[in-house]
Amino acid sequence: MEEALSSKFYITTPIYYVNDIPHIGHAYTTIIVDALARFHRLLGQEVFFLTGTDEHGQKIEQAAAKKGKNPKEYVDEISKRFKDIWESFGISYDKFIRTTDSYHIQTAQKAFLKMYQRGDIYKGEYEGNYCISCEAFFTKSQLIEGGRCPDCKKETTLVKEESYFFKLSAYQERLLEFYKQHSDFIFPKSRYNEVIRFIEDGLEDLSITRTSFDWGVKLPSEIANKDSKKHIMYVWLDALINYLSALGYENESDDKMEFWPVNYHIVGKDILRFHAIYWLAFLMSLELPLPRHIAAHGWWTKDGAKMSKSVGNVVNPQEIVNAYGLDCFRYFILREVSFGQDGDFSQKALIERINADLSNDLGNLLNRLLGMSAKYFNNHLRVDIQAFKAHYKEELESIHKILMGLELLMQEVQIHRYLEELWKIFALANGMIAKKEPWRLVKEDKMQEVAELLVFIANLLIKAAFCLSPCMPKTAKEILDVFNIPLESKHYLEFIKNNQIISEMVLMPIMALFPKIETPLLEEKQIKTQHFITKEEFSKIEIKVGTILGAEIMPKSEKLLKLQVDLGEERERQIIAGIKSYYTTQELIGKQVCVLANLKPAKLMGELSEGMILAVSDDDGLSLIQPQAIKKNGSQIS
């Protein structure tokens, strides 16, 4: 796939859902987009790079309530964390959008009205299984065992409510025809068939409003009469519209619609369907040009295991960058895994990449050039250009061929292959040093041959640095500083496109780029292991059903509540529980819970606690364990 170069280039990350702090998956997506944006700036294009946060929905409303905050306070806090980490990572975005921004809300309402007036939106009643975690509905045939979500495997909720619907079914044939004509629309191509199968299975009209919660974009005033004021937009409709609102579509912000259609939406594989089907249908309804490409990457695991806060193996990208450096982290996640495949993060793999690829292949090559240039030529290299080109004709042609193939790999989002090909240049240079043995040439007083070899390595490093810069911008600049060449588009075109060669240069020494790493720089978190107990040990545990009769806030504590629990005994038990962040005192009264009843009493903040309330927690928070039906207080769980 080779496309004509336009003067404008528009690329996006998804807008990240603000239900948690940024993790390695967010960093991976954002760094991919940053690399692509930097590459297209090198080509001389005017780039618009969009990222931001998705801030509406039931899950956000619930998370805020558990934190004792209103939704806006909560999303302000989490959105800032995303913006702060991208700025600390030097991410070169042009706009950071939030779905709570007034101009975005204006666009979402105008787009909804346009689709409504076109006849693509109608009011009806919806009944279906809704996954709060994924903010998505599923048919019964799509659910997995136990009525759970096929994507996140969590329980779904049967929802029945009045809803506005988008006529997705009306676009089924048009979508299939589009994909038939654009088989290279999705990267990697293996995902293409997945989308086609989903469409061919039959598209149902999409419920696009909710009435069961309030935190979302209200319907436009032209529609929101007394019967519809309770409706808010479905989070995915609201979210996808951001790609237009950021450009000023139907709002009062700066008009940048000349960047539309977008060149690349970069997304995780779990949200491909929303972008490849729903988003395209919305755009068809709005009569706007469709995106040029959607690229879906895989997920990251940690040491072969799925990341989970409860297990304690979530990779914090800021910690990795603080320990190993930003460019090392960028190189690892871009190089380690084929785009579209799942990747596994471990310090061992990261250190191996740093030592082998960065320290040995690249860093050592630059060190050898600087060392020999200083020792033999006082950092001033000069050769006859014609003789040099003649002597290194074959090698220069090989390098140019590699460099000319890189643009296509970047266009197809094969950044791992891009880096793999680029490293062939460093291998060629290191191989030439081994072959020419410059230390031997010096002894034989063949200084011109040594100078030609060093000029060859220097030109190779200059060219490679420009191509490396989208992936490792700091490293590339440090390499080019050695030769006093600015990292600018015009010089990229000179050295890469026009194949310029420098025959005379003065080198500026720098510190070694990538010192070897002998031991991990971060202490590994201990992963929880399973501990087995005997039946005899289990028989000693008394878990009983009880009813909460009273609940008070513990003064000076952010987590603790003081509960009075009826366990069918002569008196109520007082139990101190760390659930203040998840439950209010009012909603606990009358709730039946499971209590570890024979736990040794203990004092917490001066109050006696006579047992333990059982609860379960995961990435979405904490829930009390309760019997499915009302049971007699004191009933023992066995």
Per-residue pLDDT tens digits for 563-579: 999 999 999 999 999 89
In this predicted structure, the answer to whether residue 420 has a pLDDT above a threshold of 80 is yes
> Using CB atoms within 10 A of its CB, is residue 430 exposed (0-12), middle (13-18) or buried (19+)?
middle
**Quick one: average pLDDT of 511-533?**
76
The answer to whether 582 and 551 are in contact (CB under 8 A) is no
In this predicted structure, the answer to whether residue 106 has a pLDDT above a threshold of 60 is yes
Give pLDDT tens digits for 5-53. Answer: 689 999 999 999 997 789 999 999 999 999 999 999 999 999 999 999 9
- 294: three-class secondary structure by DSSP: strand
**Quick one: average pLDDT of 231-260?**
95
Binding residues: 131, 134, 149, 152
Give the pLDDT confidence score for residue 605 in this predicted structure.
80
Give pLDDT tens digits for 378-392. Answer: 999 999 999 999 999
Q: What percent of the chain has pLDDT over 70?
A: 96
Nearest 5°: the CA angle 132, 137, 140 is 120
Instruction: Provide the whole-model pTM.
Output: 0.80
Give pLDDT tens digits for 169-225. Answer: 999 999 999 999 999 999 998 899 999 999 999 999 999 998 888 899 999 989 877
Give the pLDDT confidence score for residue 526 in this predicted structure.
46
> In which residue are the tokens 């194949």 written?
499
What are the two backbone dihedrals, phi and then psi, of residue 145, each rounded to the nearest 5 degrees?
-50, 130
In this predicted structure, the answer to whether residue 228 has a pLDDT above a threshold of 60 is yes
Mean pLDDT (the chain) is 92
339 closest CA partner among 28, 86, 1, 13:
28
What are the two backbone dihedrals, phi and then psi, of residue 286, each rounded to the nearest 5 degrees?
-80, -5
In this predicted structure, the answer to whether residue 234 has a pLDDT above a threshold of 90 is no
Q: What percent of the chain has pLDDT over 90?
A: 76
What are the two backbone dihedrals, phi and then psi, of residue 174, each rounded to the nearest 5 degrees?
-65, -40
What secondary structure does DSSP assign to 488-518, as a single string? -HHHHIIIIIS----SEEE------SS----
**Quick one: average pLDDT of 599-617?**
89
Q: Considering only 150-164, 280-294, 536-550, which range has the smallest mean pLDDT?
A: 150-164
Give the pLDDT confidence score for residue 3 in this predicted structure.
58
Give the pLDDT confidence score for residue 622 in this predicted structure.
81
CA atoms within 13 A on the CB side of 244: 26
C-alpha distances in Å from residue 546, one per residue of 187, 552, 577, 589, 627: 55, 17, 14, 12, 10
Confidence of residue 619 (pLDDT cuts 50, 70, 90): low
Q: Helices 393-411 and 415-436 meet at what angle, rounded to 10?
A: 170
In this predicted structure, the answer to whether residue 444 has a pLDDT above a threshold of 80 is yes
Confidence of residue 528 (pLDDT cuts 50, 70, 90): very low
The answer to whether 126 and 159 are in contact (CB under 8 A) is yes
Give the pLDDT confidence score for residue 426 in this predicted structure.
98
CA dist., res. 470 & res. 40, Å (int): 9
C-alpha distances in Å from residue 193, one per residue of 227, 231, 461: 42, 35, 41
Binding residues for Zn(2+): 131, 134, 149, 152
Give the pLDDT confidence score for residue 529 in this predicted structure.
40
Confidence of residue 586 (pLDDT cuts 50, 70, 90): confident
**Which letter does DSSP use for residue 278 in this model?**
I
Give pLDDT tens digits for 124-148. Answer: 987 778 787 777 777 777 788 778 8
470 closest CA partner among 424, 411, 518:
411
Give the pLDDT confidence score for residue 527 in this predicted structure.
40
R_g of the chain, CA atoms, integer Å: 30
185 closest CA partner among 3, 334, 34:
3
In this predicted structure, the answer to whether residue 255 has a pLDDT above a threshold of 90 is yes
- Please report which helix (H) or strand (E) contains residue 10, including its range: strand 8-17
What residue type is 512 in one-letter code?
Answer: A
Q: Which two tokens stand for residue 480?
A: 């080019």
Ordered by where they begin, the domains of the chain are: 343-506 (1.10.730.10), 535-637 (2.40.50.140)
Q: Considering only 9-18, 231-240, 499-508, which range has the smallest mean pLDDT?
A: 231-240
Q: Considering only 307-311, 341-345, 466-470, 542-546, which range has the smallest mean pLDDT?
A: 307-311
**Quick one: average pLDDT of 276-281?**
98
Give the pLDDT confidence score for residue 2 in this predicted structure.
53
CA atoms within 13 A on the CB side of 261: 16
Confidence of residue 530 (pLDDT cuts 50, 70, 90): very low
- 613: three-class secondary structure by DSSP: strand
Q: Which two tokens stand for residue 15?
A: 């807008």
Give the pLDDT confidence score for residue 633 in this predicted structure.
93
